[in-house]
C-alpha cells in the first residue's frame, strides 16, 4: 500500500514537473518570438477608394520562430474616429501557423464614404485622423490561449474640400433683355488621397427669396491639388435681380454623393 502511494506521489510529481517545464518553455518561446524576434509585425496601412467604398488595407506578418504551432489566430481590427467613436470593425481568422513558418495576412476594413461623410460632415473640410485598434487572440501549442491588444495606431484623413470658400462675385456682364451672367469664384484644397470629380451646382436667389438664376461646373481635382476657379450663373430673371441675396451650393460626386455646401450671401 505504501509503495502504491509512493508511486502515485512520484507520478504526480513527475507530471507536475513535466507540466511546468512545458509551460515554462512554451511561454518563454512565445515571449522570445513576439518581443525579441518581432514575430508579429504590422505593415503600412493604405487606402483605396472604388465608387463609394473606401477600403483600408492593413497587412500583418506573423513569423512563428517559436518551438510550437499557433492555431485559431484571430485578428480583429476596430476603426475609430478621433473622438473614439467606433466606425467599423472586421475580423480575420488564420487556422494555423506552424512553427518555423511565416504567414502574411492582409486585413481589410471597408466603409461607405457617403455614410461616413453624412455622419461626420466635418471630414469634408477638416483634416483629421482615424485610430485603429488591433486585437489578437490565438492558441499556442494547442493548449494555451492568449489575447494581445494594441491601440493608438493612427491613420491620417485628408479633407477633400479643405478650406472650401467663395472668394468673390463678379459684377453682372453681358446684360441683355434675356438676362445677364455673374461669375462666382470658389476655391479649396483636396487633401484626400483620392481625386475629387463631380459637378458644382449653384442656385442664385435675390433678397426676396426668389430664384433668379442657375449655374454649374464640372470639376476634377487630383489629390493634393488646389482648385481655384469660377462657376458662371445665368441670371434669367433680370427683373428679379436686386443686387443682393444669396447663392445655394450643392456638389454631386460619384464618390461623396450629393452634398449640400450651404449658402453664401452676396451684395
Give pLDDT, residue 168: 95
Cell of 131: 485610430
Lowest-confidence pick of 56-60, 143-147, 197-201, 240-244: 143-147
Give pLDDT, residue 155: 83
d(CA 221, CA 227): 7
pLDDT digits (tens, 9 = 90+) for 183-211: 999 999 999 988 999 999 999 999 999 99
Please say if the pLDDT value at position 20 is more than 60. Answer: no
For 113-143, where are the E strands, in sequence order?
128-140
- Cβ 106 vs Cβ 47: under 8 Å: no
Nearest to 254 by CA among 212, 214, 219, 202: 219
Helices assigned H by DSSP within 78-224: 113-119
Reported confidence tier of residue 106, pLDDT bands at 50, 70, 90: confident
245-253 and 211-221 beta bridge pairing? unpaired
Give pLDDT, residue 42: 75
Please say if the pLDDT value at position 154 is more than 60. Answer: yes
Q: What residue ranges do the domains of the chain occupy?
A: 2-157, 162-266
pLDDT digits (tens, 9 = 90+) for 215-252: 999 999 999 999 999 999 999 988 899 999 999 999 99
128-140 and 196-206 beta bridge pairing? unpaired
Do 2-157 and 162-266 show the same overall fold? Answer: yes
Nearest to 123 by CA among 255, 265, 230, 263: 255
Give pLDDT, residue 238: 86
d(CA 232, CA 252): 17
d(CA 30, CA 19): 16
162-266 under CATH 2.170.130.10, yes or no: no
Give pLDDT, residue 142: 75
User: What is the percent of the chain where pLDDT is above 90?
Assistant: 38
Nearest to 30 by CA among 82, 73, 66, 59: 66
Phi-psi domain of 2 (left: phi exceeds 0; alpha: psi -120 through 50; beta: other): alpha
Average pLDDT over residues 115-143: 87
Give the highest mean pLDDT range of 8-17, 19-28, 98-107. Answer: 98-107
- Cβ 62 vs Cβ 97: under 8 Å: yes
Reported confidence tier of residue 174, pLDDT bands at 50, 70, 90: very high
CA of 26: how far to CAs of 4, 23, 37, 61, 149, in Å? 32, 5, 15, 21, 20
d(CA 243, CA 173): 13
- Cβ 127 vs Cβ 191: under 8 Å: yes
Give pLDDT, residue 52: 84
Average pLDDT over residues 57-63: 83
Average pLDDT over residues 83-90: 87
Architecture per CATH, domain 2-157, reads as Sandwich (2.60)
Give pLDDT, residue 149: 75
Amino acid at each position: 500500500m505504501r509503495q502504491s502511494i509512493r508511486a502515485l506521489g512520484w507520478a504526480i510529481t513527475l507530471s507536475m514537473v513535466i507540466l511546468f517545464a512545458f509551460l515554462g518553455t512554451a511561454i518563454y518561446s512565445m515571449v522570445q518570438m513576439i518581443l525579441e524576434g518581432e514575430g508579429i509585425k504590422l505593415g503600412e496601412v493604405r487606402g483605396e477608394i472604388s465608387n463609394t467604398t473606401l477600403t483600408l488595407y492593413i497587412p500583418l506578418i506573423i513569423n512563428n520562430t517559436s518551438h510550437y504551432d499557433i492555431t485559431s489566430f484571430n485578428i480583429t481590427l476596430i476603426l475609430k474616429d478621433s473622438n473614439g467613436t467606433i466606425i467599423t470593425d472586421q475580423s480575420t481568422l488564420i487556422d494555423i501557423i506552424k512553427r518555423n513558418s511565416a504567414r502574411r495576412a492582409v486585413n481589410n476594413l471597408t466603409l461607405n464614404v457617403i455614410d461616413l461623410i453624412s455622419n461626420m460632415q466635418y471630414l469634408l473640410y477638416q483634416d483629421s485622423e482615424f485610430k485603429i485598434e488591433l486585437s489578437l487572440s490565438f492558441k499556442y501549442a494547442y493548449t494555451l490561449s492568449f489575447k494581445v491588444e494594441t491601440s493608438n495606431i493612427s491613420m491620417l484623413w485628408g479633407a477633400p474640400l479643405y478650406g472650401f470658400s467663395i472668394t468673390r462675385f463678379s459684377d453682372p456682364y453681358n446684360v441683355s433683355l434675356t438676362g445677364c451672367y455673374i461669375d462666382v469664384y470658389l476655391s479649396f484644397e483636396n487633401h484626400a488621397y483620392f481625386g475629387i470629380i463631380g459637378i458644382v451646382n449653384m442656385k442664385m436667389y435675390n433678397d426676396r427669396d426668389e430664384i433668379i438664376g442657375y449655374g454649374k461646373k464640372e470639376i476634377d481635382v487630383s489629390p493634393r491639388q488646389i482648385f481655384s476657379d469660377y462657376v458662371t450663373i445665368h441670371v434669367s430673371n433680370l427683373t428679379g435681380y436686386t443686387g443682393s441675396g444669396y447663392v445655394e451650393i450643392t456638389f454631386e460626386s460619384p464618390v461623396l454623393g450629393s452634398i449640400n455646401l450651404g449658402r453664401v450671401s452676396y451684395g
